[in-house]
Amino acid sequence: MKNTVLASLATISLGAGLLLLPGIASAASLEASEEELTAVMGPAQEYQRGLSVNGVAPTLRSVVVGEESILAYCIEYWIRAADPDHESAVTGWDEFTGDNNFKTDPQVRHSVAWILRHSYPTLSLEQVAQQTGAVGLSEAEVISATQAAIWHFTDDFVPDKELLVEDAPDGTARTTDQSAANVQSVFDYLTGSDNTGLTEQEVQASVTLEDATDPDASIPEPVASGMTSEADHVFGPILLNASTDEVELAMRPIDARVEADQITVVTSEGEPLDLAEPVSAEEVWVHVPADLETGAVRLAAESVEYGYTGRLIIPEPDGQRRFQTIVVVDQTTDSAATELELTWEKTVVEKPDSPAESPLEDAPPVEEPREETQPIKAQVENTSPSEAPPLLSEEPVAVQENSSVAAVETERPTPTQDNSEKKASTQEAVETKPAAELATTGAQQTRNVLVALGTVAVGACLMVVNRFRRSRT
């Protein structure tokens, strides 16, 4: 509810009318009205005067209702206005004591109520000018046009809608070159087809939030497209039902480790919602990133219904006459609120177990380093003298064809061969080694034969020598 009241009064005295401004009533003033509040006409220094329209210059006055000063318009053209500080009663529209169209025609009441809600001072001068096309609109011009429009409905004032606009009789309000056009424009707008009437209405607001999240249901693709991980938390659909087309939606983190801007609220089409603006969606989705700390948020919705009630400010008669009735249209509100708490736990991503050791046969073959085998010549060169095999005699040795001794000839590398060629593949070296051993074995047998032959030769020589000596003796 608003804390200020802007109502509309209209009063007219014997040659002068009074204009007071429409506005919004607070809850306190509405409750007070039910307790039979009294009102008093405001002080004269708060008056504002309008231009003369068809010979009548309305005057804007204030009315104090309870402890609030409000502005309003009058609904009786031919009745004299009360003086400042005059005591007044506050009643409903049905208790109107006059006898004009406002008394007899409900549609007139609705038209007057619409004027009070769509003109100054409920709206600013700029807003009224925008609606009516008036240029350089002044307070005196809009007051005169608004009061003339009200009287047009309540008392058939200016039925042909042709207005004559002049300076105020006391000179307090002066016309300009634009005044006549401005007053006519505002008057035509307030009495034209735009005025569809405003009925009194009691309102009752309602709003609910329902978490319809189904873990087994798939998330709509537009919503899922905003997810950065399959482990993200998504709440929805959250159903939003209200008596109004739009609601105020707010999200407040419960845990201090969670900030509101870390969480996204989107529509079913995946469009992010600006919670600073009223929300008209019927369902929303809440997206919480997976890496967000464990926490909770409270989603709050509020629906506000606006209605209007009418009141009359009726000055107390003085025993001889009654005074003009002031009409007030109060804007009333009714609100409803609800909350929904959403909680989650931070997603813990488990690291995959290290793979079990593969069986030995599954392991890739490991090639063990091969032992380098030097060529035969290198072996001979690297062999110590004591180990070196005896050299073959230069004299040829007869060997039988069927002899088991095999001579092995080792190929010697040419001086131009690179050392890398000397170190051939290990496999070739391994294959050469048995041949080298065979060669060594053959040499040793030849030596034994030579030794034996030498021994026989020496023995024979000794025998010949001994016989020669004996023959001489």
DSSP of 357-426, one letter per residue?
PPPGGGSPP--PPPPP---HHHHHHHS-TTTSPPPPPSS-----TT-S----PPPPPPTTS-HHHHS--H
Whether residue 176 is contained in a domain is answered as yes
Q: Do residues 260 and 239 share a domain? A: yes
- The pLDDT, as a whole number, for residue 433 is 47
Whether residue 400 is contained in a domain is answered as yes
- The pLDDT, as a whole number, for residue 339 is 94
Q: Identify whether the C-beta of residue 373 lies closer than 8 Å to the C-beta of residue 430.
A: yes
Better pLDDT: 319 or 178? 178
Q: Do residues 269 and 418 share a domain? A: no
Q: Which of 176-185, 237-246, 435-444 has the lowest mean pLDDT?
A: 435-444
List the domain range (segments joined by +) for residue 164.
9-201+309-317+323-331
Q: Do residues 418 and 460 share a domain? A: yes
Q: Do residues 195 and 109 share a domain? A: yes
User: Where is mean pLDDT largest: 33-37, 167-171, 195-199?
Assistant: 195-199
User: How many domains is the chain partitioned into structurally?
Assistant: 3
Distance between CA 333 and CA 311 in Å, rounded?
16
Q: Which of 111-120, 175-184, 244-253, 372-381 has the lowest mean pLDDT?
A: 372-381
Whether residue 457 is contained in a domain is answered as yes
- pTM for this predicted structure: 0.56
Q: Identify whether the C-beta of residue 42 lies closer than 8 Å to the C-beta of residue 67.
A: no
Whether residue 83 is contained in a domain is answered as yes
Whether residue 407 is contained in a domain is answered as yes
Q: Which of 163-167, 268-272, 299-303, 431-435 has the lowest mean pLDDT?
A: 431-435
Q: Encoding tokens for residue 436?
A: 């080298």
Q: Do residues 66 and 136 share a domain? A: yes
Measured in degrees and rounded to the nearest 5, phi and psi for residue 449 equal -60, -45
CATH for 277: 2.60.40.2410
pLDDT score of 67 more than 70: yes
Q: Do residues 128 and 251 share a domain? A: no
User: Where is mean pLDDT largest: 5-14, 32-41, 212-221?
Assistant: 212-221
Q: How confident is the model at residue 424 (pLDDT cuts 50, 70, 90)?
A: very low
- The pLDDT, as a whole number, for residue 228 is 78
Q: Do residues 123 and 230 share a domain? A: no
Better pLDDT: 378 or 20? 378
Q: Do residues 71 and 157 share a domain? A: yes
What is the chain's mean pLDDT, rounded? 76
Three-class HEC string of 320-358: CCCCCCEEEEEEEEEEEEEEEEEEECCCCCCCCCCCCCC
Distance between CA 159 and CA 204 in Å, rounded?
39
Distance between CA 41 and CA 11 in Å, rounded?
11
Whether residue 271 is contained in a domain is answered as yes
Whether residue 108 is contained in a domain is answered as yes
User: Which residues are CB-contacts of 364 (< 8 A; sequence separation ≥ 6)?
Assistant: none
Better pLDDT: 15 or 137? 137
Q: Do residues 84 and 119 share a domain? A: yes
Q: Which of 88-102, 214-228, 353-367 has the lowest mean pLDDT?
A: 353-367
Q: How confident is the model at residue 369 (pLDDT cuts 50, 70, 90)?
A: low
For 84-94, write each residue's pLDDT tens digit. 899 999 998 88
Q: How confident is the model at residue 442 (pLDDT cuts 50, 70, 90)?
A: low
Q: What is the dihedral of CA 221, 223, 226, 231, to 10 degrees?
A: -90
Burial category of 356 from C-beta neighbours within 10 Å (exposed 0-12, middle 13-18, buried 19 and up): exposed
Give percent helix, percent strand, percent coil of the chain, each to the nearest 5.
30, 25, 45
Whether residue 446 is contained in a domain is answered as yes
Tell me the mean pLDDT in the region 35-63.
Answer: 85
Edge to edge, what strands does the sheet with 264-267 contain? 207-211, 233-242, 283-288, 264-267
Better pLDDT: 427 or 52? 52
Tell me the mean pLDDT in the region 336-351.
Answer: 82
User: Which residues are CB-contacts of 35 (< 8 A; sequence separation ≥ 6)?
Assistant: none
Q: Do residues 44 and 187 share a domain? A: yes
Q: Do residues 431 and 463 share a domain? A: yes
Q: Do residues 183 and 243 share a domain? A: no
